[in-house]
Structure 1
Amino acid sequence: MSTNVHNVLFICTGNSARSIMAEAILNQLGAGRFRAWSAGSHPAGEVNPNAIELLERNRFKTTGLRSKNWDEFAGPDAPPMNFVLTVCDKAAGEVCPVWPGQPMSAHWGVEDPAAVKGSREVIQRAFNDCFIVMNRRISLLTVLPIEKLDKLALKKELADIGQVKA
Structure 2
Amino acid sequence: MSPLAEAYLNDRGHGLIRAFSAGIDPAADLNRHVKRLLSAVGVKARGLAPKPVDIFLMPHAEVPDRVIYLSDQTQIAYPLHWKTTTSSHWWSIAEKPPFPQSFSACSIYFDRIAVAVDELISPSISVATPAA
TM-score, normalised on structure 2? Answer: 0.79
The CA distance in 2 between the partners of 1:67 and 1:19, in whole Å, is 8
2:61 alignment partner in structure 1: 78
Deviation of the 1:99 alpha carbon: 7.1
SS of structure 2 residue aligned to 1:106: strand
Structure 2 runs not aligned, ≥5 long: 124-132
Gaps of 5+ in 1: 1-17, 118-122, 145-166
User: Which structure is higher in helix share?
Assistant: 1
Residue of 102, 105, 111 corresponding to 2:94: 111
Separation (CA, whole Å) in 2 of partners of 1:74 and 1:62:
24
How far the C-alpha of 1:114 sits from its partner, in A, is: 7.4
Report percent identity of matched pairs.
28
Aligned pairs, number: 120
1:49 aligns with 2:28: no
* Distance (Å, rounded) in 2 between the aligned partners of 1:95 and 1:134: 21
Match of 1:96 among 58, 69, 77: 77
TM-score by length of 1: 0.64
Q: Which amino acid aligns with 1:76?
A: P
The residue aligned with 1:128 is: 107
Residue number among 51, 65, 69 corresponding to 2:52 in the alignment: 69
* Distance in 1 of aligned mates of 2:54 and 2:80: 9
Question: 1:116, CA displacement in angstroms?
Answer: 2.7
Q: Does 1:40 align with 2:23?
A: yes
**What do residues 49-77 of structure 1 show as CA deviations (whole Å, max 9, x unaligned)?**
11222112221111110111101111122
Superposition RMSD in Å: 2.2
Kindly state the Cα deviation for residue 128 of structure 1 after the two structures are TM-superposed: 1.6
Alignment match, 1:161: none
